[in-house]
Structure 1
Amino acid sequence: MCVRQSPDGRAVIHFRAAGVLLLLAHLLFVGWLTLRPLDVPWMTAANLRPLDGIRADLALGPVEAAHRIGEGLLLLAPLGVLLPMAGGRLLVSPWASLARTVAAGALISMAIELAQTGVPGQVVDVDSLLLNTTGVALAHLLVVPMSRARLRRGNRAGAGDLTRLVNERPMSRGEAPQGSTPTISRVGIAP
């Protein structure tokens, strides 16, 4: 979680709130884009064989293939950044974060594909599930580890400054150093 100290000492959590709002906005946009009925004169059959749709896109030529494959990669790619941002964790294993984010992206993509079965003009395509999940993984790998490292460095520097200021504050008159906290030794129970 990214916490910034304000001058009066209150903690302000801003990245997590922004992540949640951006995540909701992106999911609403994706839902509108992928689940609206289309008025088409004819429809292709559902693609349930992995990589068949990608092969068909590649057969259309490099420009059209790049356009179609790029659309599949970019549709859910922002989730690779927004899901960890909404989670708000800074101190987490990079591999665990990647696994959680990719799994959530795959589940969201699968939910979209299953919801498309009841929408007129929309066709289920297993390759879009693969491309969407790959896009989430690539966005996460390209942005999140570097961003977390930078935020951790910023938090350490800010926390260090705050700690130094607290520890170096001058004592007022009549205030004595307090020393360590007293402890009570353990006493055994008598028989």
Structure 2
Amino acid sequence: MRVTGLLLLVAHLSTVGWLTLRPRTVPWVSATNLQPLATIRAELAHGPSWEAVQHLGASVLLLAPLGVLLPLSAGRLNVSPLVSLTRTVFAGSMIALAIELLQSGVPGRVPDIDSVLLGSLGVALAHLAVVPAARRRLRRRYGHLRDVTPRFPRVELAPQADALVGGRTYR
């Protein structure tokens, strides 16, 4: 599962990179937005429209698969749901932030802090919708394998030997 998750993760990130970091030839670009929720308010200022839903929905859906692919590539079944959600959303937020920072050097692309917020929301929603139920199902299916793992007795430190004396003396 880890290998499949990693391959899908690399494929998705490659696609996202291609979509978001290609230079665009446009006659003008909007200004950089560093004020949280400004773009969202501007999109919804004239009431909800199909264009606003498309723009905001695309930002949410672009990184949403990371909410499933990041835990899948980790391959952990027995982890706290809160820790898993926190770890996944943090990693998704950092990826979204990296994309926005890289966009600042691409012609025709403008960084927008709301894209980071919407991308993180998409990661969180996808994670909450899929991962807890999938882990529960996999734990039920492979729960009998939990006790098959061999257990090794705890290895303690070896007694200290006096290295300067030719004999073996232990304290």
Superposition pairs of residues 16-165 of structure 1, within 5 angstroms: 16-59=2-45, 61-157=48-144, 159=145
Letter in 2 for 1:47: N
Report if aligned partners of 1:16, 1:86 keep a CA contact under 8 Å in 2: yes
| Aligned counterparts of 1:64 and 1:117: Cα–Cα separation in 2 | 24
TM-score where L is the length of structure 1: 0.74
SS of the counterpart of 1:37?
coil
Counterpart AA for 1:29: T
**Greater mean alpha carbon deviation, residues 58-67 or residues 147-156:** 58-67
Q: CA deviation at 1:83?
A: 0.1
The structure with the larger Rg is 1
**In structure 2, C-alpha distance between the alignment counterparts of 1:91 and 1:48, rounded to whole Å:** 39
Q: Deviations over 1:142-174 (max 9, x none)?
A: 0000000000000025x39x97xxxxxxxxxxx
Aligned residues: 147
In structure 2, runs of 5+ residues without a counterpart are: 149-171
- Structure 1's consecutive aligned runs of 4 or more residues displaced over 6 angstroms after TM superposition are none
Percent of matched pairs sharing the same residue: 59
Deviation at 1:16, TM superposition (A): 1.1
Query: TM-score, normalising length from structure 2?
Result: 0.83
Write the letter of the residue equivalent to 1:148. Answer: R
Contact 1:59 1:65 in 2 (8 A): no
Amino acid at match of 1:124: P
Task: Report how far residue 64 of structure 1 moved.
Answer: 1.2
The amino acid of 1:21's aligned partner reads L
- Shift of residue 59, structure 1, vs aligned partner: 2.8
Per the TM alignment, residue 85 of structure 1 is displaced from its structure 2 partner at its CA by: 0.1
